[in-house]
A and B are shown apart, each in its own frame.
Chain A
Amino acid sequence: MSRVKSLSVALGLCLAAAGAVHAQDAAPVELKLWHAYRDSEEQALLEAARVYKEQTGVQVTPIGIAFGAYSSKVETAVPRGNGPDLLIGAHDVLSKWQRLGVVEPAGEDSTAYRAGAGAALELEGKRYGYPLAFKTLVLLYNPELIQDPPTDTDALLAAAKAHTGGGSFGLAYEATAAYYFAPWMHGFGAKISGDDVHLDSPELIAALAFARRVGMDEGIVPKSPTSELMGSLFDEGKAAFVISGPWFAAGRKRAIAAIPLPTVSQTGLPALPFLGVEGVFVAGQAKHPGEAAKFAAWLAGPEGAAIRQELGGQAVAAKDAPPLPDTLETSVIRAVLAQAETAILMPTDPQLPNVWEALEDALRKVMRGAATPEEAAKGAEQYRKVLSRPPPEAANPVPYVVIMVLVGLGALVWLCLPLRDPNVRQEIKNKKVDYLWVFPAAVAMLALVVVPFVAGAAVSLFAHSQGEWTFVGFSNFLNIVLSRDWPVTSPLSFYYTLVVTILWTLTNVFLHVSIGMGLALVLREPWIRLRGVWRALLIVPWAVPNYITALIWKMMFHVQYGAINALLGFGGEPAQIDWFSSFSMAFSANLITNTWLGFPFMMVVTLGALQAIPRDLEEAAELDGAGAWFRFRHVTWPLLKPALLPALVIGSVWTFNMFNVIYLVSGGQPDSSTEILISEAYRWAFKRDLRYGYAAAYAVLIFGVLFVYGRAANKLAGKKVL
């Protein structure tokens, strides 16, 4: 082991040295630029890079990274020196990036920016990054349907109502997302950042009630509108108004216009959205920081801005961008720039993610009708308090280190116990060669599976908050196991999720085995025509990658346009089942998807097992007049059982940790109630304020549960199956 390790370290050093030599070469400079742009914004970036190369000879290579993976990738790679030279990001991640060493302060910059743009990228009096563009919500509309866009909400609702019906909707927006709720919130005078945040304030309750009216009661907004759904509705002329940002306008297939959001008629206050200021940053540990800063300044400056405005449709931050004529084509950019002047800069308050999570939870409850605005607001306030509680007290690591060392020694002693026997020692000596055969696999597993897991598990003894790690001992475990943060019956408690996970595993395995076995019993009959064809077609679900089919199923479960509801309408009007609004329906949707994915494995296993079972026993039973069920129960099943048991146990372990289906189909909705342990752990690690320690404790508990289960399965089966 140690030799392999030192070898690989040496290898690593060699590679690093080779890299260093390479960097010193007088090769032409190439700047790498990471971004999460798509479509026209990406095109504009590529064009800017091309122009810049023509002017200066410096090659800039923009590298697009999927939006969902962007921040985690930046935060892991850049601090370890594996990042690019330049990064594009919004001002609200700046303080985190600065703390992690992801970004460098900006250099000299002669560009004049619009009000607020430069300040948004400042931190402790220093400016990081060069402002590129504003991102905010505006009221987009179809100019063929709307000639005179409304400036208050009463007029908006009336106009939207007039354009609803016959498959068309007056207004489309993501009514259950906190970002889209923010304008109403500000329009009612509520706020969610600062010292004195209360989510149960009367203003917020009024805003929730209003959101419910707009999003549901008026019937003018399509249900569960995803951005692609809104896009196609708009392109087909079936959406009069859309509340969204400049990104929505990119690539639309019909004319689109925009104005700033209306005032809320009830209060007379403008509905102000949050404002994001996007900038380009010189990355920490950039290979060519000087050249990178030059390009960044150029990209943010008038020349770069002209390209981004013209090709990318960006509302650029530079003042000296080409003037925008008063035409339909520039309508969206002009609206965004106008809105940017009044919009509220997205707070960089470290508590914001917690407030956000609580708020969105309340919003979804209100939209679904599961709670009144008052109840939801009260719940949200409680939820916020728990989420934003400071991490557990720091603990003294010494006793823990002692315990760990003792446990480790104990395990070692236990492993070496058989060595006391001289016969065993002799045997090991004699069979040295045997160990060599297991050695490669054991080393690989140790290095790439066991070590990462132990390292990951060790994180459970720490708390992570805003980039700082504190040693907290077993606090994370105690909080989870004693359910200190929530009542046991809350969907966020460990026990609730454990029960759901067990229910999930049991129902899945039962359906997998019964459907798989049923099909296998039918398909083995010699009188079935085209046996090979059925068998080949029925294993298709297993062959298609499961993230693909999970996404397709998610789409088929859509309440208004999904194929499942159409199917349940039996040719008539589609059924109106909202699959993700109640636990039982959402759980069923997950279950249907995973049953579909899982039965082929059991079918194939059963077919194999059946081949080994002689049929004469069954035939004898049939001659004796035994019925089909009796024959199955007393002849076939006892013979099948030993063969199926291992597959069943391993299948149940897979199902227990089946992350993809839960995450992609129901996503835990409603209110995290359909989450299973593994997806809950993921949420704690990556969605809820990066509580890695808490998530790691979850992971250790998952392992514990499965370990106990494996032991029990061995006992029950009477032999080693796991």
Chain B
Amino acid sequence: MIELKTIKKRFSDKEVLKNVTLQVQKNELLSIVGPSGCGKTTMLNIISGLCSPDEGEIYIDKILVDGKKGRKKIHVNPSDRGIGYVFQNYSLFPHMRVDENISYGLKAKHLPRHEIKKKINSLLDFIALRDYAQYYPHELSGGQQQRVALARALAIDPTLLLLDEPLSALDPKTRESLRTDFKNLLETLEVTSIYVTHDLAEACTISDRIAVMGEGVVEQIGNRDEILEKPNSKFVANFLGLNVYDGKIVQAASGPAKVKIGNIEIFTTVIGKGDGEKIILTIKPEDIILSTEPLIRNPKWYGCVCNNLTGKVSDIVKMKSSAKVLVDVGFPIESELTLSSLKDLCIDKGKNVYVQFKADSLNVSQG
């Protein structure tokens, strides 16, 4: 088990980590997601011992590796923490062959030669690169290099595996296929792992739990559904790409409540809130239905309270297979449609559209 207690780190003027507290259970795979510069890599470097925290404590399997024991400052060397670290951009030693890269940590432990050989072979089998033992890193593809980096980290039988955006340097197609490979490899390992990425989809595929980081703090930690369905702050909702609004309860009720966003009133389901209370409302773009014709209630939504609004399309951003349509309904609201739906519905910039979403699609949190 890994435990970080109130970790603080400052680089000159910038406070990179502010009171980070985190626990990773034995054999759990925790993903840390967040935008660039939010302190993810610094956190890994601190856990690995490559840099020291200014304040706070780190425990690996209940052993203090960084922090204060009485008056004594503890900082266990990176190589004595039992950590395997897979760096971004592979970081394979370019002047060493694949087998030399994998055996680097084993040689430092002065293991017998036959034992090192056996371990290299089993790891090469594990990453399916048995025939590449004598190759130099630059002779391998990006995906192969990444697997060698994983094997090198695993060679020392680490207590904790740290992975810093291990797939980010790959092209999207390779990344997609390796994501599943990586998940399968990590699942068979039974090793506690922390996986840093800025790609939420990658975190959702690979990990047991996700921690969302922003500006040096862990904003939310939970399983995939908890994060995606119940973002607890504006930051997390924005990071997930949701519509986020400041609202005010106009009329609380046991059923749907009336809420005001700007001057527009909508229905939502809130529990335990009073009139006049400020709240934060979030809704996924894919939960918003658009049409150029007046919308008929979706038969599947029978019994649900629906919000029906009208507005003007202010922008359309087309992506690979979907499009984001921004509509002004008195406040900006973003809907995500497939490209074929966009074509079928004849939605264009400047057109008036009807907007519909269920009251219970809105997630409500404290304002």
Q: Do these two chains really belong together in a complex? A: no
B interface residue numbers (CB < 8 A to A): none
